[in-house]
């Protein structure tokens, strides 16, 4: 590693620490958006890591099934958790929250380093490459998604420049028929696989960008028909095979899970519900402090200014990257773009992406590239007198636009509190810095390191003013000590029984600590059969899509929305305790107490986790308990006396197998949802084992692919 690469590495590690500095110092600090009540860290990542560690310590096994929310679901098939992404394994050995904060920190650094190295490979000076790295790794949208706890998405986006760098080398190898291509193409497949394992939702935006970029290189190289040779086709197939092999462990169970989930048939309106509002585009230049990360558009005043200089100076690549930014912006607008319905039908996998606004990440990336090119125009590239005049006029026009917008912002926000940093002041300062630095750089007053340092400091300050409003640190102690009195009064984790709340009264991270298995929960993937059953039991409509169960369409947990519950149906799910923020009307619910404003009920219709139906024609009254049951996530062992139907209050899902006295038997659905088997007369030993062929086959393929990858790298 040469000195410039070493310095850039140290620089981006330090810079990334600046954005989440409080969280790095705090071992248990949790990053939040100031306006957010929830974060995916506490809703998903922390509880899942905690559960896996607990299962390993208790049963000595890795849990393939997650019973903690929604009455159970396949854990390793969940594409949003990231259990297959190797860096996440740090949370298995380090304090969980500390590991998560470190992962955010290092991935921001990885994004900046990748952008720097790729821009250098594109023959951009190290100053321009550094500017591009700063602009991308510190883009407010990326920092904002850290605040929402989107660990997988942030990790996947951070790999984007690395994917483009390997695609560049692969494309040139195809065009020039370089030696060592087998090694190169296997690495390309591996990097794409890593990106997929971090967050499968990012694979389509990233690979589509990579394909367009590769096509640009081919057109620039002007290769003839020999590009489509058998050799090149074989190399592409190797790369594709490595990719498919590495992702098989996640892909196979994920397809099985999602095909049975509520995500499998979303309407176009539901798919584009979280589009980027077109009116938000004014926020590209006006810093809306504390903006919601999913729809944030601010890119940095100086970043956009430098991108504008690249366009005016007609720096090589300006047209391509401007077109990419505009094209993906049209995707981000979702249902506001009349072409989107056609594209959703045309492009495979696009319907899996429920948040079109995330395509705006490509706009952030493209603008960062243009900013690096713009700095190159100012500092390195000789340009004609005509271009100099055009750049000067463009800088004056851009600064004038900022001043006009600042006046408008001042008029709109003059009633704001005095403690708020006004956007108009931010824009005025940005305009001043841009015009001064731009003109001095154009006149070559800044030479070498001095210009790079001044521009870098100005861009960092510009982005810092916005990024500081997107993150706040909340102590783990305060978040995890929530509902202490309620938890102590219930002691729910002491028995194998589920709890249900129509108002999310027991957050999932609290349930994880107390070992409380919930029948409700928050997860974008929900089994459709379970969702339909709960619609009848709770009383919500069987229409629309929600990441919560039961749905909270108005984001109001305190509203008395579900006040009449079917206690018998919930009893079949082993729901013995119901906790609500409001009073519930049901004759079969006995109010136990009220703690911290929460109403606590006992369900008199609760069934045990396993029971025997003696008379199937009168199942509401003719049932008996089993003799004994041993429970673990992947296996359940039951002693029961027949005859009758043994019903297990666990969701029926492919991969679960049953044996009675050692003989394999078929698992029959009960109420279309639970598992059951028929028992013969006398004592019976019943074993339920979770052995999903999709997981084991996928894992075997991934291991085999890893062996091939090592061979290709060694012999390449």
% of the chain at pLDDT higher than 90: 50
Whether 149 contacts 43, CB under 8 Å: yes
The beta-carbon contacts of 346-353 under 8 Å, at least 24 apart in sequence, are 347/204, 349/203, 349/204, 350/204, 351/266, 351/271, 352/200, 352/201, 352/204, 352/258, 352/263, 353/201, 353/204, 353/205, 353/271
* Alpha carbons 322 and 362: distance in angstroms, whole number: 11
- Mean pLDDT, residues 474-501 taken together: 71
CB 622 within 8 Å of CB 645: no
In angstroms, rounded to a whole number, what is the distance separating the alpha carbons of residues 502 and 529?
Answer: 19
- Shared domain for 213 and 349, answered yes or no, is no
**2 SS3 class:** coil
pLDDT class of 305 with cuts at 50, 70, 90: very high
Give one DSSP letter per residue of 359-421, joined into a string: GHHHHHHHHHHHHHHHHHHHHT----HHHHHHHHHHHHHHHHHHHHHHHHHHHHTTTS-TTSP
28: which 2 tokens? Answer: 């248990």
Please determine, for residue 480, whether its predicted confidence score (pLDDT) is greater than 70.
Answer: yes
Contact present, 47 and 509 (Cβ < 8 Å): yes
Is the pLDDT assigned to residue 223 strictly greater than 80?
A: no
**Number of structural domains the chain divides into:** 4
What is the value of pTM for the model shown?
A: 0.93
Do 516 and 644 reside in the same domain of the chain?
A: no
Task: State the Cα–Cα distance between residues 36 and 144, nearest whole angstrom.
Answer: 11
The DSSP 8-state label assigned to residue 516 in this structure reads: P
Q: Which of 218, 253, 288 is at the close of a domain? A: 253
382 lies in the same domain as 509 = no
Residue 651 has which token pair?
């969701």
For 400-426, b/e burial (b = at least 16 CB within 10 A) is eebeebbeebbeeeeeeeeeeebbbeb
Report if residue 701 sits inside a domain: no
Write out pLDDT tens, residues 1-16: 566 677 788 899 999 9
Flag whether pLDDT at 560 surpasses 80.
Answer: no
Q: Indicate if 34 and 134 belong to the same structural domain.
A: yes
Nearest residue to 206 via CA among 177, 243, 255:
243
| Per-residue pLDDT, 556 | 60
The answer to whether 145 and 293 are in contact (CB under 8 A) is: yes
Are β-strands 498-500 and 598-603 bridged in parallel, bridged antiparallel, or unpaired? unpaired
What are 429-465's pLDDT values in tens digits?
A: 888 888 988 888 877 766 678 888 999 999 999 999 8
DSSP collapsed to 3 states, 428-496: HHHHHHHHHHHHHHHCCCCCCHHHHHHHHHHHHHHHHHHHCCCCEEEEHHHHHCCCHHHHHHHCHHHCC
Domain limit, last residue, from 409, 434, 467: 467
- The answer on pLDDT for 27 being more than 80 is no
What is the pLDDT, as a whole number, of residue 694? 94
Compute the average pLDDT of residues 476-483: 71
What's residue 496's pLDDT?
A: 85
Mean per-residue pLDDT of the chain: 87
Contacts of 523 (CB under 8 A, 6+ apart): 44, 69, 70, 73, 78, 80, 547, 549
Least confident of 206-210, 447-451, 692-696, 705-709: 447-451
Q: What is the number of other CB atoms lying within 10 angstroms of the CB of residue 451? A: 19
Share of the chain above pLDDT 70, in %: 90
pLDDT for the residue 283: 84
**Best CA proximity match to 517, nearest among 651, 657, 671:** 651
Q: Say whether both 286 and 420 belong to one domain.
A: yes
Confidence of residue 268 (pLDDT cuts 50, 70, 90): confident
Based on the domain organization, do 586 and 625 belong to the same domain?
no
How far apart (Å, rounded) are the C-alpha atoms in residues 527 and 257? 8
Q: Which of 578, 603, 628 is the last residue of a domain?
A: 603
CA-CA distance, 424 to 410, in Å (whole number)? 6
Element spanning 681, H or E: strand 674-690
Dist CA 625 CA 613 (whole Å): 9
Asked, for residue 567, whether it belongs to a domain, the answer is yes
Question: Same domain for 25 and 70?
Answer: yes
pLDDT of residue 543: 82
pLDDT in tens, 160-215: 999 999 999 999 888 877 666 888 899 999 999 999 999 999 999 999 999 999 99
What is residue 355's predicted lDDT score, i.e. its pLDDT?
Answer: 82
pLDDT (0 to 100) of residue 651: 96
Full residue range of the structural domain in which residue 619 is found: 610-696
314, 382 contact by CB (below 8 A)? no
The residue whose two tokens read 């990440």 is 361
Whether the per-residue pLDDT at 419 is higher than 50: the answer is no
| DSSP for residue 345 | H
- Output 629 or 488, whichever has higher pLDDT: 629
Q: Would you say 679 and 647 are in contact if contact means Cβ atoms under 8 Å apart? A: no
Same domain, 325 and 430: yes
CA distance 656 to 273: 36
Indicate whether 620 and 566 sit together in one domain: no
> Which pLDDT score is estimated for 322?
95
More confident residue, 97 or 495: 97
Task: Give the tens place of pLDDT for each residue, 567-608.
Answer: 999 999 999 999 988 888 788 888 888 887 788 899 999 999
pLDDT at position 484: 60
- Phi and psi of 507, rounded to 5°? -60, 155
Number of neighbouring beta carbons within 10 Å of residue 459: 26
Q: Which residues pair with 475 in a beta bridge?
A: 29
Residue 703 lies in a domain: no
* Same domain, yes or no: 148 and 171: no
The answer to whether position 344 is within a domain reads yes
Judge whether 715 lies within some domain.
no
Domain membership flag for residue 569: yes
Angle at CA of residue 375, ends 369 and 376, nearest 5°: 90
Q: Is the domain of 104 the same as that of 224? A: no
Judged against a pLDDT cut of 70, whether residue 315 lies above it is answered with yes
Position 290 scores a pLDDT of 87
Mean pLDDT of 498-513: 89
425 and 308 housed in the same domain: yes
CB 538 within 8 A of CB 562: yes
Q: Is residue 306 part of a domain?
A: yes
Instruction: Place 411 in a pLDDT band, splitting at 50, 70 and 90.
Output: low
* The pLDDT of residue 418: 38
Residue 707 falls inside a structural domain: no
Largest CA-CA distance found in the chain, in angstroms, rounded:
98
**Length of the chain as a residue count:** 716
Q: What is the pLDDT of residue 165?
A: 96
């Amino acid at each position: 590693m040469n000195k410039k690469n070493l310095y850039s590495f140290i620089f981006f590690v330090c810079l990334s620490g600046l954005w989440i500095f409080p969280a790095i110092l705090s071992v248990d600090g949790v990053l939040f958006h100031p306006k957010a009540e929830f974060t995916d860290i506490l809703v998903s990542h922390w509880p899942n890591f905690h559960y896996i560690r607990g299962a390993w310590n208790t049963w000595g096994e890795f849990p393939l099934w997650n019973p903690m929310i929604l009455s159970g679901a396949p854990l390793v098939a969940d594409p949003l958790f990231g259990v297959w992404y190797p860096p996440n394994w740090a949370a298995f050995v380090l304090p969980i929250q500390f590991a998560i904060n470190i992962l955010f920190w290092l991935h921001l650094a990885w994004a900046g380093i990748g952008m720097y190295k790729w821009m250098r490979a594109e023959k951009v000076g190290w100053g321009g490459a550094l500017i591009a790295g700063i602009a991308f790794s510190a883009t407010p949208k990326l920092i904002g998604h850290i605040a929402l706890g989107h660990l997988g998405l942030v990790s996947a986006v951070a790999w984007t420049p690395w994917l483009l760098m390997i695609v560049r080398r692969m494309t040139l190898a195809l065009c020039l028929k370089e030696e060592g291509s087998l090694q190169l193409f296997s690495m390309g497949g591996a990097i794409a696989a890593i990106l997929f394992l971090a967050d499968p939702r990012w694979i389509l935006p990233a690979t589509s960008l990579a394909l367009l970029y590769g096509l640009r290189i081919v057109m620039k190289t002007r290769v003839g028909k020999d590009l489509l040779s058998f050799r090149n086709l074989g190399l592409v197939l190797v790369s594709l095979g490595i990719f498919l092999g590495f992702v098989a462990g996640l892909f196979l169970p994920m397809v099985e899970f999602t095909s049975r989930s509520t995500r499998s048939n979303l309407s176009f309106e539901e798919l584009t519900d979280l589009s980027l509002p077109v009116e938000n585009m004014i926020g590209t230049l006006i810093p809306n402090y504390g903006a919601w990360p999913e729809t944030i558009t601010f890119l940095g005043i100086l970043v956009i200014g430098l991108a504008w200089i690249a366009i005016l100076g007609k720096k090589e690549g300006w047209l391509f990257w401007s077109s990419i930014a505009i094209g993906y912006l049209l995707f981000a607008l979702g249902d506001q773009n009349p072409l989107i319905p056609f594209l959703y039908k045309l492009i495979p996998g696009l319907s899996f992406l429920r948040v079109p606004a995330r395509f705006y990440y490509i706009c952030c990336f493209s603008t960062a590239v243009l900013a690096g090119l713009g700095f190159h125009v100012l500092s390195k590239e000789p340009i004609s007198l005509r271009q100099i005049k055009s750049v000067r006029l463009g800088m004056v026009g851009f600064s004038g636009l900022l001043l006009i917008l600042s006046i408008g912002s001042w008029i709109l926000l003059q009633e704001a509190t005095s403690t708020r940093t006004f956007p108009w002041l931010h824009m005025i300062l940005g305009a001043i810095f841009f015009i001064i630095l731009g003109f001095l750089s154009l006149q070559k007053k800044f030479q070498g390191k001095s210009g790079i340092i001044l521009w870098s400091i100005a861009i960092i300050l510009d982005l810092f003013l916005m990024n500081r409003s997107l993150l706040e640190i909340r102590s783990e102690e305060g978040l995890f000590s929530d509902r202490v009195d309620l938890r102590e009064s219930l002691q729910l984790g002491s028995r194998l029984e589920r709890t249900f709340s129509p108002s999310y009264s027991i957050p999932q991270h609290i349930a994880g600590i107390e070992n409380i298995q919930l029948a409700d929960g928050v997860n974008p993937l929900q089994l459709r059969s379970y969702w339909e059953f709960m619609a009848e039991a709770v009383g919500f409509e069987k229409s629309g899509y929600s990441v919560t169960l039961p749905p909270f369409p108005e984001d109001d947990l305190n509203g008395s929305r579900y006040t009449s519950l079917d206690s018998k149906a919930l009893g079949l799910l082993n729901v013995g305790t119901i906790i609500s923020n409001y009073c519930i009307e049901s004759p079969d619910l006995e109010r136990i107490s009220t703690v911290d404003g929460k109403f606590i009920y006992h369900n008199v219709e609760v069934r045990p986790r396993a029971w025997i139906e003696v008379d199937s024609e009168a199942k509401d009254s003719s049932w008996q308990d089993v003799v004994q049951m041993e429970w673990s996530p992947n296996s359940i062992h039951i002693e029961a006396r027949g005859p009758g139907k043994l019903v297990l209050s666990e969701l029926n899902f492919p991969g679960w197998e049953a044996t009675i006295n050692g003989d394999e038997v078929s698992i029959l659905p009960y109420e279309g949802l639970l598992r059951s088997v028929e028992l013969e007369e006398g004592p019976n030993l019943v074993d339920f084992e979770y052995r999903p062929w999709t997981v084991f086959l996928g894992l075997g393929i991934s291991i085999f692919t890893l062996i091939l990858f090592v061979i290709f790298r060694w012999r390449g």
